Amino acid sequence: MLNRDVVIEVRNLSVSRSGVLVLKDANFDVLKGDYVGIVGPNGGGKTTLLLAILGQIPRMSGSIRLFGKDIMDFDEWERVAFVPQDAINFDVNFPLSVRELVSLGKLGRNKIGRKLGRRDWDEVYAALEFMGLSEVADRRIGELSGGQKQRMFVAMALVRNPEVIILDEPVAGIDAVTQERFYQKMSDLNQKRGITIMMASHDLSAVFCRMSKVICVNKEVNVAEIRPDVDLEGVLRKAYGEHFHFVFHRHECEGEFKA
């Protein structure tokens, strides 16, 4: 098997917030092309882990490297896109169309005030089409459904041509059918475009169906490849406790996890 580049390297990472230890001695690598699900109980530290990787909250100890650079020296943030948990919670009366909002993704730090050219707009339209939003491109953003809003923010991230997309519970509060469509789109991004994806999620079934690696977070961090020969139920018990059990349901995947 060919060696793949390490995109994110975390070593002995501990993080405290408001004086409380939230993450303890986390160690893992994310490789180029990985599709990583981050799971764990509420308050276990999933969001804290993502924010630490993005350099938005300080470390207590340990190291984080992005594309081989220590996070303190990393300055290529255009390679990393982030869709936060509250992305869709905006003023529904904000006077922008879907196309206009997605185009804002082209305005990086060095491009503010620059008029978008034809190539920029081509990339905007390509992102809208890929995310299935072409038909609503001229609608006001407040008119979209929850699932459309989430796909809109992914499209906004895509026009930056990132190598990594990090999402924090992007389908919270969205119905099951729309969630499945969203996960399918993210699988397409990973498989067809080779984008590395890290996604915090409570949908264990989708994680084990579609993703290649799971990071279980509940203060301590346990990591496993998603393969038939790996005791994934045992890995999950470390985060969720011994009450965790595995049952089969009719589903697109082979089974469904419940905690």
How high is the pLDDT of residue 89? 63
How high is the pLDDT of residue 23? 96
Digit-coded pLDDT (tens) for 115-158: 888 899 999 999 999 999 999 999 998 888 888 888 999 999 99
Identify the structural domains of the chain with CATH numbers, from first to last.
6-258 (3.40.50.300)
- Tokens 């993210």 -> residue: 186
Sign of CA dihedral 171, 172, 177, 183: positive
Digit-coded pLDDT (tens) for 230-240: 888 888 888 88
Query: What one-character-per-residue DSSP string does 134-203 give?
Result: GGGTTSBGGGS-HHHHHHHHHHHHHTT--SEEEEESTTTT--HHHHHHHHHHHHHHHHHH--EEEEE-S-
How high is the pLDDT of residue 142? 86
The pLDDT-based confidence of 256 (bands split at 50, 70, 90) is very low
Digit-coded pLDDT (tens) for 38-82: 999 989 999 999 999 999 999 999 999 999 999 999 999 999 999
Digit-coded pLDDT (tens) for 148-189: 888 999 999 999 999 999 999 888 778 888 888 888 889 999
CA 5 to CA 150: how far, in whole Å? 29
The pLDDT-based confidence of 259 (bands split at 50, 70, 90) is very low
Residue spans of alpha helices (H) in 8-144: 46-53, 98-103, 118-130
CA 191 to CA 163: how far, in whole Å? 13
Digit-coded pLDDT (tens) for 97-116: 999 999 999 886 555 556 88
